[in-house]
Every structure is written in C-alpha cells, then in structure tokens.
C-alpha cells in the first residue's frame, strides 16, 4: 500500500532520516517504533505530506505520491488537534467535510462512530469540558469519519483506562479486517506485539529493523527454556548452560544442539512435566537495538 524509496530528510545540520527503504502492506497493522528523537514523527509527516523529503520517493498503491493522496489518509497526531471552545459534533462535521464528505455523509458516519465509541451523549459538549480519554475518542472519530484507506495513529492509547484501551484495540482490529492499512506509532510494546503484523524500528535516523513481527522475534530468540521436572537435573555444559536451578525447575540456554537431543539426554535423569521456550519480548528487542 505504501512504499518509501531512499527517503532522507535534514533540518539544517540535523539528520532526521537517512536512506529509509520501507514497504507497508495493504490491510495490515504496521508498527512504527523507535526511541524519542529517532525520526518517527518526521517519517509520519512525510507520509502525510505535511513536509517533503530532501531525497527519495513515496508511493501510494503503486502511484507516486501527490496531494490527492492525502484524502486516502486519516491521521491521529500525538498532540491534541481539537478546538477547545468548539462543540464536539460541530468540529467533527467540520473535519469530515474538509475531507470531502457531504454534510449528510458526514452526519451518518459521525453518528455511527459516536455510538460505537459510546460518546453520543457528549456531542453537545465543548472539548475543554471532556476528560483526556474522551478527547482522545473524539480525535479518533475525526481521524476515521471520512472512511480513509490508510489510518495513522500516533500514541492512540494516551489517556485511556484499560477498558477504553481494549475498546480501541478491538476497533483497530476490526478496521484492519475491513481492509484498512493502519500505521501504529507507540511506545507500548505489549500492544504492538498484540496488534501488529509487521514492524519497522527507526533509531538515530536509520532503519534498524523491518519485517514480519513473528519472524523478527524468532530471529532474536536465545534458545532459553524453562523446564518443570522431578529428579536430579544433570549439568552438561556441552549441550546447555544452566541459568537457574531449583529443586523442581531449571532454566537452560541451549548451544547448537537440537531440542530432541537435549530431551533424549535428560529423560534418563528426570521426569519432565513441562518445557517452555522463553522467546524475547519486543521490549527486549527494542532495548537491544537502541542501546
């Protein structure tokens, strides 16, 4: 759906992005990760054509990017983009019509999303009367009311309690299942793992990781297993290192040895009740890549 080729951007002497090549598939949830100051916001601003790159090309669905493609997108910025003194329904109508909807189309779409997000009773309130979580819900409706094909969400869970965060997660998954391409920029790694199919990690203006999330996690695993057992657990530094050992639980890290070979070695010594592989979390990979 989106293709970036050799995208670079400088602000004076500061390099914000350097030679970014990135492909974002259709109908997926794509995680854009990186520490503060890594270049994520600059990349989002290039995607939305708020700014242009110094070098490189941007394509949407095989076409070179032009201003007309902005109507394909809905963008929820990390900062509040709402008019504090304006009533909820009035500004949602305003934003939807800016994106090309007729007044009737805008009303139908807005009514649908206000009901789905359980904020219909707030539509006559001004933004400054709402809590941070309610404001975020209104901003989310403004992002998707025009039915965009590409939805960019920058820290969308800000201000949400666990119940409303789960409501938003369910809606994001539903949008993806309806064919939308969703770009999710967040520091919440557990939600990235829960939601994303593909991720990219930017660090110091460069792309340091890009691909299918499950494959990335598998490629970074350390072959660490936790074993519940009874008996006398044997040491064998040739096959594995023992990380922790108690009376009925051991954590080992395997060398270049198949799991079957280790099981065959262990079974004469112990009865095994469970053996669980400890895969690295995305948070651990993030810290490793950005340290």
The enclosing H or E element of 251 equals strand 249-254
The pLDDT score that the predictor gives to residue 258 is 87
Which residue ranges make up each domain of the chain?
2-218, 221-290
Long-range interactions of 22-28: CB distance < 8 A, separation 24+: 22/200, 22/207, 22/210, 24/181, 24/183, 24/198, 25/1, 25/181, 25/197, 25/198, 26/1, 26/61, 26/179, 26/181, 27/1, 27/176, 27/179, 27/180, 27/181, 28/176, 28/181, 28/182, 28/197, 28/198
Q: Per-residue pLDDT tens for 113-127? A: 999 999 999 999 999
Give the ranges where the chain is alpha helix by DSSP (H): 40-47, 88-98, 103-116, 132-144, 162-177, 189-195, 213-219, 259-266, 282-290
Q: What is the pLDDT of residues 152-195, one digit of tens each?
A: 999 999 889 999 999 999 999 999 999 999 999 988 888 899 99
DSSP codes of every residue in 84-146? TTSBHHHHHHHHHHHTT--HHHHHHHHHHHHHHTT-GGGTTSBGGGS-HHHHHHHHHHHHHTT
Q: How many residues does the chain have?
A: 291
pLDDT over threshold 90, residue 289 = no
Burial status of residue 178 (CB atoms within 10 A of its CB: 0-12, 13-18, 19 or more): exposed
Query: Which architecture does CATH list for 2-218?
Result: 3-Layer(aba) Sandwich (3.40)
State the residue for tokens 């108690």. Answer: 246
Summarised one tens digit per residue, pLDDT across range 57-115 is: 999 999 999 999 988 999 999 887 899 999 999 999 999 999 999 999 999 999 999 99
Q: Look up the CATH number of domain 221-290.
A: 3.30.70
Name the band, by pLDDT with cuts 50, 70 and 90, for residue 290.
Answer: confident
> Model confidence over 226-279: pLDDT tens digits?
999 999 999 888 899 999 999 999 999 998 888 899 999 999 999 999 999 998
Rg (C-alpha) for the chain, rounded Å, is 24
Q: Is the pTM of this model over 0.85?
A: yes
Q: Could you report the per-residue pLDDT of 15-57, keeping only the tens digit for each?
A: 999 999 999 999 999 999 998 888 999 999 999 999 999 999 9
pLDDT at 139: 95
For residue 111, which phi and psi values (nearest 5 degrees)? -60, -40
């Amino acid at each position: 759906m989106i293709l970036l080729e050799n995208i670079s951007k400088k602000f004076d002497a500061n390099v914000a992005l350097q030679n970014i090549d990135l492909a974002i598939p259709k109908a997926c949830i794509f995680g854009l990760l990186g520490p503060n100051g890594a270049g994520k916001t600059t990349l989002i601003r290039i995607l939305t054509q708020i700014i242009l790159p110094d070098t490189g090309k941007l394509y949407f669905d095989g076409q070179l990017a032009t201003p007309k493609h902005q109507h394909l997108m809905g963008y929820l910025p990390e900062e509040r983009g709402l008019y504090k003194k304006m009533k909820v329904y009035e500004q949602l109508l305003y934003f939807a019509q800016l994106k090309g909807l007729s007044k009737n189309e805008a009303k139908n779409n807005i009514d649908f999303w206000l009901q789905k997000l359980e904020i219909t009773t707030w539509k006559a309130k001004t933004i400054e009367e709402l809590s941070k979580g309610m404001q975020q819900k209104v901003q989310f409706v403004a992002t998707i009311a025009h039915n965009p094909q590409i939805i960019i969400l920058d820290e969308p869970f800000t201000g949400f309690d666990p119940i409303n965060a789960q409501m938003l997660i369910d809606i994001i998954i539903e949008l993806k299942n309806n064919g939308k391409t969703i770009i999710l920029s967040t520091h919440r790694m557990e939600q990235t793992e829960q939601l994303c199919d593909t991720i990219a990690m930017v660090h110091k203006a460069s792309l340091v990781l890009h691909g299918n999330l499950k494959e990335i996690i598998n490629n970074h695993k350390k072959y660490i297993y936790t074993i519940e057992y009874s008996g006398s657990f044997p040491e064998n530094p040739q096959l594995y290192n023992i990380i922790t050992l108690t009376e009925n639980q051991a954590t080992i890290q395997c060398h270049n040895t198949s799991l079957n070979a280790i099981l065959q070695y262990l079974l004469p010594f112990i009865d095994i009740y469970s053996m669980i592989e400890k895969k690295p979390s995305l948070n651990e990979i993030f810290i490793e890549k950005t340290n």
